[in-house]
């Protein structure tokens, strides 16, 4: 029998130790077993018991997600600000909606990818799950600017949509605004991106490079996991500017919820989701990492440390779900025409 060298034994032990350290710090892997993953999605979706995910509901929700006719102008879809080809974001500092209106609070669109695992939705955490979140942008004057009753009229004026709702929910289904938002949320449940980091945490010790492991170790030791923890490495509310003021705090008027708490964004796919922070002022991961060290942890992160942490963060870029852009059903003569307000 071939004996392991002392170096090999040390590497095995150090890998196992790092995996344990990550788990002890509250980091959780996306399961690699499909049944376990679906159970986790179920636990993360308060409406799952009433509306389990099915092939028909997912496909219907995908069409609604990509359908710009839901908006008042018939130009803006969910995918406009949460572009699945761009890491689930729009890549601009302040999201822009109806009549080219920028977000009134200068807020940056968080990624929709893995959002099913967020404990809170929106930067101030005002929505608890995906269905509630989906309703907000549709009705916001600065986003899709649609009236719920008009959305229902549009969808029910399209015969193919009516038939798809019957196939998804039963022939006696009542199509209302809640069910439209629920369907979008059911599709969004599928937007999960397991990464090499998850492979490592699930036991594949070769999934991360030496530098990425060193970055993970720094990420834990520096205290980053105090806010960026759980399966999404974020997604829950936390205090912001704990040790010092955020340099760009006056860009926009957002100050968090009534308690001053801000949702810590997921770090999954973070290399794809610039610009960073709630007001989208920071464009590089290096500045984002060093700023976090200063204002949240009260420490200075060196160039070398930042470089290693960023290498770890890039290991969180996941395997994207395959999304086939849907062909949307045709409008009817009764479908409300676009209202541009120009």
Q: Active-site residue among 39, 59, 141, 143?
A: 143
Which of 183, 193, 178, 186 has the alpha carbon at shortest distance from 88? Answer: 193
**Between the CA of residue 319 and those of 8, 111, 189, 273, what are the distances in Å?**
30, 15, 15, 15
Cα angle vertex 292, ends 290, 293, to 5°? 65
Given the structure tokens 């996991």, which residue do they identify? 225
- Rounded to the nearest angstrom, the gap between the alpha carbon of residue 180 and the centroid of all alpha carbons in its chain is 20
263, 122 contact by CB (below 8 A): yes
Q: Is the peptide bond before 275 cis (omega within 30 degrees of 0)?
A: yes
Q: Is 84 helix (H, G, I), strand (E, B) or coil?
A: coil
What's the burial of 184, exposed, middle or buried (CB within 10 Å: 0-12/13-18/19+)?
buried
> Residues 148, 167: contact at Cβ < 8 Å?
no
CA 342/CA 336 separation, integer angstroms: 17
Rounded to 5°, the CA angle 185-270-298 comes to: 120
DSSP readout, 237-270?
EEESSSSS--TTTTSSS---STTSEEEPPP-TTG
DSSP 293: I
Catalytic residue list contains 143: yes
Task: Please state, in angstroms and rounded to a whole number, the distance separating the CA atoms of residues 37 and 217.
Answer: 26
Q: What are phi and psi of 309, to 5 degrees?
A: -60, -40
Identify whether the C-beta of residue 192 lies closer than 8 Å to the C-beta of residue 231.
no
Annotated active-site positions, please? 143
């Amino acid at each position: 029998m071939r004996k392991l060298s002392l170096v090999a034994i040390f590497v095995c032990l150090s890998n196992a130790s790092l995996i344990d350290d990550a788990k002890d710090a509250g980091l959780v892997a996306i399961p690699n077993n499909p049944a376990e993953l679906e159970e986790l999605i179920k636990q993360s979706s308060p409406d799952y018991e009433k509306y389990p995910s099915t092939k028909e509901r997912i496909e219907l929700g995908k069409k609604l997600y990509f359908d710009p006719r839901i908006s008042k102008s018939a130009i803006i879809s969910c995918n406009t600000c949460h572009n699945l080809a761009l890491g689930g974001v729009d890549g601009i500092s302040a999201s822009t909606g109806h009549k080219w209106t920028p977000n009134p609070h200068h807020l940056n669109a968080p990624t929709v990818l893995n959002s099913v695992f967020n404990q809170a939705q929106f930067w101030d955490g005002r929505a608890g799950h995906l269905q509630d979140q989906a309703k907000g942008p549709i009705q916001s004057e600065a986003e899709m600017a649609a009236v719920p009753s008009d959305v229902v009229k549009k969808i029910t004026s399209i015969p193919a949509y009516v038939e798809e709702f019957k196939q998804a929910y039963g022939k006696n289904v009542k199509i209302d605004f809640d069910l439209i938002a629920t369907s979008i949320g059911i599709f969004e449940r599928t937007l999960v991106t397991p990464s090499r980091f998850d492979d490592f945490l699930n036991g594949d010790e070769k999934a991360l490079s030496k530098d990425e492991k060193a970055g993970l170790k720094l990420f834990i030791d520096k205290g980053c996991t105090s806010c960026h923890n759980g399966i999404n490495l974020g997604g829950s509310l936390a205090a912001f500017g704990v040790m010092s003021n955020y340099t760009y705090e006056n860009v926009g008027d957002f100050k968090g919820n009534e308690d001053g708490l801000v949702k810590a964004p997921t770090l999954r796919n973070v290399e794809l989701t610039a610009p960073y922070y709630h007001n989208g002022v920071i464009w590089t991961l290096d500045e984002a990492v060093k700023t976090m060290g200063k204002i949240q942890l009260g420490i200075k992160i060196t160039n070398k440390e930042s470089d290693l942490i960023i290498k770890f963060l890039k290991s969180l870029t996941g395997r994207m779900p395959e999304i086939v852009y849907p062909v949307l059903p045709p409008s009817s003569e009764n479908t409300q025409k676009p209202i541009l307000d120009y």
